[in-house]
Structure 1
Amino acid sequence: MSFSTIPLAGTKPEQYAQLLQQAHALLHGERDRIANAANLSALVYNALPDLNWVGFYFFDGRELVVGPFQGLPACVRIPLDKGVCGAAARLRQTQRIEDVHAFPGHIACDSASNSELVVPLVTTNGELIGVFDLDSPVAARFSVEDQEGLEAIARVYLESLQ
């Protein structure tokens, strides 16, 4: 199967609607969590501007372990009591951080990162799967619209596992 992204156009909500359609098409019929995380990381990394890392961390029952991603090599393990990813997993709430350097306990896997958005991946029965993590070298890169769009994409990922 060949897949190519279509450049996003229009307002930010329109762009996320287009990206959501591409995510649905890309994950359609596949249930493997690694394959889907790899493809979704590549899709988002190549579709959205001003990102230096997009990927997944999976919860192994104790901590988050790096999964498929796009960007520079990453921290391998993140305790739930450390960093933005740990906070998202522990609190099960999206973390949209305008300045990661001001975040208590921030883990600097890539010193070029200045802002971060992390969406927890929680099943409908409350099981923590992991997190979907996006970093940017641009301070305050992620808006409420970005958060809503990326949460929708994370839901597509979770739906693909069912």
Structure 2
Amino acid sequence: MAAGGGRVIVGVSGSLASLAALRVAAHAARESGRTLVAVLAWEPPEGEALHVRNPDSAWAAHCEREARARLDRAFGEVFGGTPKGVTVRRRVIRGRPDRVLCAGVADPDDLLVLGARSGPRRAAVRRRVLARTRRPVLMVPAPELPRRERRALRRATAGDFEMPA
């Protein structure tokens, strides 16, 4: 593949698997000269069907702000901000994750990166994405950590991992 062809699109949810996928996607984008597009898909917590019956634009705006903050936190947790040496586009899009991600992969040279977290909901998203897209998909496994360490890692910040001068 020629440098700069297509984009590297990564689905971000805030899970450990998606954070691992974000790191791998940034590396792939940097090495290939492609743009990194980080996508966080969101829906109202009560679901679209209930929201359509009882729409509340203030609640939807709040949910979108929370989703944007979650995407920003993911970049902060993984890189301490925006990664160096790569062009980054952040997208917060309302919709089902599988549909949003598949719609975003348009160019034949696009690479889709997903975290391979265990669990029925995440597995369903992966299955639907793999069934719908004809583009390459890189699956990044979640790190295997004991539960106590997973909780501690979720509370850690980029500053916790800085090397002393």
Q: Which has the higher helix share?
A: 2
TM-score (norm 2): 0.33
TM-score (norm 1): 0.34
